[in-house]
C-alpha cells in the first residue's frame, strides 16, 4: 500500500494475486485470456485509471476486472444478447414434477465450460454473485446497471447453466 492509501499494482499482485487470477479465469475460461486480463487490470491500477475507494479491496478488483472483461467482450462481440430468449421459461421449459437431483455433482471443468457458454453480461453477473459473493446492490454498482437487471441476468444465467449441464 502506498503512502496515499491507494494500493499499488505490486500490492495487488503480491497480496491479491490468486483472487484476481481466479476472477479473471472464471470470467474468461482459459489461462491465456485470464493472464491477459490480469495484466490489463494491473496496468489500470498502475496508471491510476481506476479510483480506489477505501473498502473491500476484492470488491474493487472485481469491479475493475469485470468491467475490463466486458469492455473487451463488447469490442469483439460474438454472441449478442438478443440471440437469447427473453423469457426464462423458454430457456428452461417447465417440467412440473421433474425430479432434480440437488446432490448431483458437476466437474469444475464442465461448470467452467458451461459458464463460457453464457453471454458475457450474464456470466459477469453470475461470477460476481456466486464466485465472489457480492450482493445484487454491489453488482449493480459494479456493472452500472439497476438491481432489477442484475437479478434478471443472474437468474437467466443460472437457468442456462442448469440447462447446459443437465
Partner 1 sequence: MSSFDAGAHLGDALSALLDDELPVAQAAQARAHVAECPTCAHELAAVTQARAWVRALPPVEPPFGFYARMLDDRLPVTAAVGPRFDLRRRAAVAALGAAAAAVTVLGIGSPAARPVSPTVPRLVEAHATSASVGADLLSKLAPMGVPVSFGR
Q: Whose Cβ is closer to partner 1: residue 54's or residue 95's?
A: 95
76 makes contact with partner 1 (CB under 8 A): no
Q: How far is CA 84 from the centre of its chain?
A: 18
Q: Report the 10 Å Cβ neighbour count for 59.
A: 18
Helix then strand then coil, in percent of the chain rounded to 5, is: 65, 0, 35
Among positions 26, 69, 122, 142, the unique one binding partner 1 when judged by CB under 8 A: 26
Is 43 an interacting residue with respect to partner 1 (CB under 8 A)? yes
What's the CA gap between 75 and 118, in Å, rounded? 17
Q: Cα–Cα distance between 136 and 151 in angstroms, integer? A: 7
Kindly list the residues in this chain that would bind partner 1 in the complex (CB under 8 A): 9-10, 13-14, 17-19, 21-22, 25-26, 31-32, 34-36, 38-40, 42-44, 46-47, 49, 68, 72, 75, 87-89, 92, 94-98, 100, 102, 104, 106, 108, 111-112, 115, 126-127, 129-131, 135-136, 151-152, 154-159, 161-162, 165
Amino acid at each position: 500500500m502506498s503512502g496515499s492509501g491507494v494500493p499499488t499494482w505490486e500490492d495487488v499482485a503480491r497480496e491479491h494475486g490468486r483472487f484476481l487470477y481466479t476472477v479473471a479465469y472464471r470470467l474468461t475460461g482459459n489461462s491465456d485470456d485470464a493472464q491477459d486480463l490480469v495484466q490489463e487490470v494491473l496496468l489500470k491500477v498502475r496508471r491510476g485509471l481506476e479510483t480506489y475507494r477505501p473498502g473491500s479491496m476484492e470488491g474493487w478488483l472485481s469491479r475493475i476486472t469485470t468491467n475490463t472483461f466486458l469492455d473487451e467482450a463488447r469490442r469483439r462481440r460474438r454472441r449478442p444478447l438478443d440471440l437469447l430468449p427473453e423469457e426464462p421459461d423458454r430457456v428452461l421449459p417447465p417440467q412440473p414434477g421433474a425430479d432434480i437431483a440437488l446432490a448431483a455433482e458437476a466437474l469444475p471443468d464442465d461448470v467452467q465450460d458451461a459458464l463460457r457458454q453464457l453471454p458475457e453480461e450474464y456470466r459477469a453477473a453470475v461470477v460476481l454473485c456466486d464466485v465472489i459473493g457480492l450482493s445484487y446492490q454491489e453488482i449493480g454498482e459494479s456493472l452500472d446497471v439497476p438491481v432489477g437487471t442484475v437479478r434478471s441476468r443472474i437468474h437467466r444465467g443460472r437457468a442456462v447453466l442448469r440447462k447446459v449441464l443437465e
